[in-house]
Structure 1
């Protein structure tokens, strides 16, 4: 039997017995383990590309509790390409502004999107169950349009046996166990990843000696849709820091820092939680409005990752591959960047257009991303929770200086918020033959900008694209069996000129299916273009 370990917020893929359970193991090109945000988005991406994918989840939908709530602009752009970005945006609470306090004193405010010209805001807050619901709806829509996606709920993988060119999975269901074969297995089964344990693989990194309490509170309040963070909060029982965020449906996320040596059961007692929430609300509003506790949890900061993300035929993504502290919103957002990087590579390998070296590049690029996230999360944690008296003196001095002096504000670290990873100096990059702008250098993800009647990123992604600005290039290019779409404009918007031309009069960009820049030139060069595409698919690597 498949045990039910938690209650569901939404039943999305109820168990149905399939014929394969009574037959010898069938071979699948790709099997995804885990139907969370990362696994479901990967299934949608692969299916829309025409790559057959089977998703297995050990429950029949998404569990209760808000969990991941902060989804970045880059994640919204990825989801938009997959068909559910607008749904996430429309349901979510939009925010761009954050405020930092030290005790009762405002330190400074920051705006994460100070310029116009993007389809999406810097962040939206949305409870994870809604995100998974929208992703699953996109998968069902793709299925109805003929995409080769299959989802099996209450199918728990209990054993993985690897061979040279495939893996065999043993799957437990309410009707007993069966086996399937997979050319590639993508483990998206979370921080406690059973898949990782089955293969005897470990996380390496730091576990910080601190605990944080999440309290999701349902109430009507006049707080703005902003991120408020307190160092040494002025309200009783908050610990060294506290965080306030708004979610949809009149839900407010409050985080309290508890310290390391705690009585977990006592801290989860609703009466004790209410005392903390009451103190915070009365401190900020002068009263305690009526509220309900929707969801509570305690977590520990962890900044860890697997040494490698690719192990023969099993590939790890999302929290199964890496963990970071939630301050900075780098968990789910990093996981979505994982699958954005992986899906197009799997497609080319499954279709025989690229070799396994392209899969290995996933490990290289996303390990780079994980290290960047772990570095930022570790620094934030050290700043938020000084480990010595002198560290606290220096931290508080920075907070005091930041109240009046701009130079000190970049030193304040309440969680460096998630930004797209730039794959600087990595092997899939082609030449950079322009002097700027830096934000669109080789390895960066494409920033959005107004384009025609819409936005640039609505017109690129999913395929290799040649973006041509104020010059000429041929249509219908093809190299190594891969078609290249050409997108030309001679009337770029002001934002497009600023972000892609800088001081140049014209430019040609080769862009990967995940909207990362392969190469750029001031004019079209067919020989260089073909070489850059071969580099981008690791065609000549072994």
Structure 2
């Protein structure tokens, strides 16, 4: 069922490539105009890389689908120019509550400290995010979105790919140096390369219902084990914009997916949960899910991202959030390779880093699923014993797994501190930098991540000597002023401390006392040159 069929529709238009006698060659073609494909294409275009984005549809709005976007995703969206639009429309939240029956087991705060531009999470229907991204893409002159362009053929060579594309006006071919496959869980490109997923398929079925109603529930994540309105199963409640509420109900592996979507089955379930019938169904779906991924994400000049590369359960909001992080990891690397500033082998680090991230997400997702929907008597006994203990024992609360919520990935880095000094604070090697409120050299407020943007940057704390040379250097006290002391606290600064930040705002290296040679080697290693680390 879907009462909201189309929110935004885009017209097909003929491209110049269709009138040329031989295929036009493009630096990058992205297939799939969902959040992952759009973010990747925008990121590349902002870095000066011309991009063609193909999608076989011409519309947005067939169901709300993904709704939860984490702080790191919002920071990426901010750099891409759409976070403000999303924050204005979205529902901001940071508190989650876990119940058994009607009893509150525990509550958690996902962002207990101040001094960050972005909140812990927002809830926003996926079609609103996609519309904001499409509008942003339209502002970029080197990003060409082609709706109703369906890839029907793929041939790969040593230095690129040739795509056959079906349109309402017939077929045409297109050449690309690189192809980003972001065409979702049913990826046609994955099928064309005859690539198979590895992992686990779960049989339990879950009902999603988006319900329009006026409600007094706060903007929090509420999860129930064995609630009185849905005996023996689990339930989840989230607030969305437009007085819409997301309700997830576990149905069990034997549920009839088609029958369970019928209003005469859905409405009584929702009425029993809410205790009234003053609501209207917006969208209903029944799903099962998989925790699987491709063995490799990079196949010659074809790079897979998002659901085309890996799939997880929806518990923990790991799907879209991890996919958007895929795009961020890939975009700066592709841009450097295309610009001749990095070897082609740099793309292999995308596969290495995002494969590890996918494994981590799949592991968390699988454990959450096993706890929420036990598949054996032993798993059920463990779950019930944990819930019983959690009422009284703090250690057991940490074992309750209602979906470990999406966290940003931390990448292993060989660029460790050469002098062996210990570092405190929340900044960690390989992780995205924690944000902090600053002032620029003109005294205007600016956030640290805003100042960094998407460039490789050295951040230096002066100690009387000249700052180390780098591609771009920001000096604390000159270029950025730490008015509240939060940068010093989070980065454990001392005079002379220097931090090398990757173009995706992950911390690549740090030194108490950097030298030109240390910085140069770390920068080269960051860009994929062998033997670059100090």
TM-score by length of 1: 0.92
- Residue 435 of structure 1 and its aligned partner are, at CA, apart by 1.2
- Please tell me whether the aligned partners of residues 309 and 367 of structure 1 are also in contact (alpha carbons under 8 angstroms): yes
DSSP-derived class of the 2:119 partner: coil
Is 1:352 the counterpart of 2:344 in the alignment? no
Matches within 5 A, 1:358-437: 358-424=346-412, 426=413, 429=415, 431=417, 433=419, 434-437=421-424
Structure 1 position 500 matched with structure 2 position 491: yes
- Which residue does 1:456 correspond to in 2? 448
Confirm or deny that 1:207 pairs with 2:204.
Answer: no
1: CA distance, partners of 2:318 / 2:425: 23
How many residue pairs get aligned? The number is 519
Q: Of 496, 520, 527, which aligns to 1:530? A: 520
CA drift of 1:385 comes to 1.4
TM-score, normalisation: structure 2: 0.94
Structure 1 421/271 Cα, relative in aligned 2: closer, same or farther at 3 Å?
same
Give me the whole-angstrom Cα distance separating, in 1, the residues matched to 2:378 and 2:268: 31
- Change in 2 beyond 3 A, CA 1:167/1:394: same
Structure 1 residues 386-417: Cα deviation after superposition (integer angstroms, max 9, x where no partner) = 22223222212222222233222211110000
CA distance in 2, matches of 1:506, 1:475: 8
Q: What is the CA deviation profile of residues 155-194 of structure 1, one whole-angstrom value per residue up to 9, with x for unaligned ones?
A: 0011110001110000000000000000000000001101
The separation in 2 between residues aligned to 1:514 and 1:472, in whole angstroms, is 30
Give the drift of 1:7: 4.6
Deviation at 1:211?
0.7
Work out the CA distance in 2 between the residues paired with 1:366 and 1:250: 36
Distance 1:489 1:388, change over 3 A: same
Counterpart position of 1:19: 16
Offset at residue 469 of structure 1 (A):
2.7
2:161 and 2:178 in contact (8 A); partners too: yes
Give the corresponding residue for 2:72.
74
Structure-1 separation of matches of 2:62 and 2:201: 26
Residue 476 (structure 1) shift: 9.4
Contact 1:468–1:488 (CA under 8 A) maintained in structure 2: yes
Whole-Å Cα distance in 2 between the matches of residues 430 and 160 of structure 1?
Answer: 42
Aligned twin of 1:131? 129
User: Cα offset for 1:486?
Assistant: 2.7
Please give the alpha-carbon distance, in whole angstroms, between the structure 1 residues aligned to 2:139 and 2:477.
Answer: 32
Residue from 210, 213, 222 that aligns with 2:216: 222
| Counterpart contact for 2:328–2:504, Cα < 8 Å | yes
1:262 aligns with 2:255: yes
Residue 454 (structure 1) shift? 2.6
Secondary structure (helix, strand or coil) at the match of 2:472 reads strand
Partner of 1:277: 270
Q: Secondary structure at the match of 1:142?
A: coil
Q: Is contact 1:500–1:507 with CA below 8 Å preserved after alignment?
A: no
* 1:93 alignment partner in structure 2: 91
> Residue 3 of structure 1 corresponds to which residue in structure 2?
none
Query: Could you tell which deviates more after superposition, 367-376 or 17-26?
Result: 17-26
Partner of residue 506 from structure 2, selected from 516, 529, 533: 516
Query: Counterparts of 1:18 and 1:165 in 2: how far apart (Å)?
Result: 24
CA distance in 1, matches of 2:418, 2:393: 37
- Separation (CA, whole Å) in 1 of partners of 2:405 and 2:38: 24
Q: Which whole-Å CA distance do the structure 2 matches of 1:83 and 1:264 have between them?
A: 39
Q: Distance in 2 between matches of 1:489 and 1:92?
A: 35
Task: Report the CA distance shift for 1:58/1:507 in structure 2 as closer, same or farther (over 3 A).
Answer: same
8 Å contact 1:37–1:332 — kept in the other structure?
Answer: yes
- Whether contact under 8 Å (2:94, 2:109) holds in the other structure is yes
Corresponding residue for 2:313? 325
Name 1:285's counterpart in structure 2: none
SS at match of 2:176: strand
Tell me what 2:442 maps to.
Answer: none
Find the residue that maps to 1:489 and give its secondary structure.
Answer: coil
Give the secondary structure class of the aligned counterpart of 2:476: strand
- What secondary structure is seen at the aligned counterpart in 2 of 1:186? strand
Q: For 1:292 and 1:401, how far apart are their aligned partners in 2?
A: 38
C-alpha displacement at 1:310, in angstroms?
0.3
Task: Give unmatched runs, 5+ long, in structure 1.
Answer: 1-5, 283-287
Deviates more, 1:288-297 or 1:23-32: 288-297
Distance 2:147 2:402 in 1: 39
The structural deviation recorded for 1:34 is 0.6
Cα distance, 1:141 vs structure 2: 2.1
Unaligned runs of 5+ in 2: 440-444
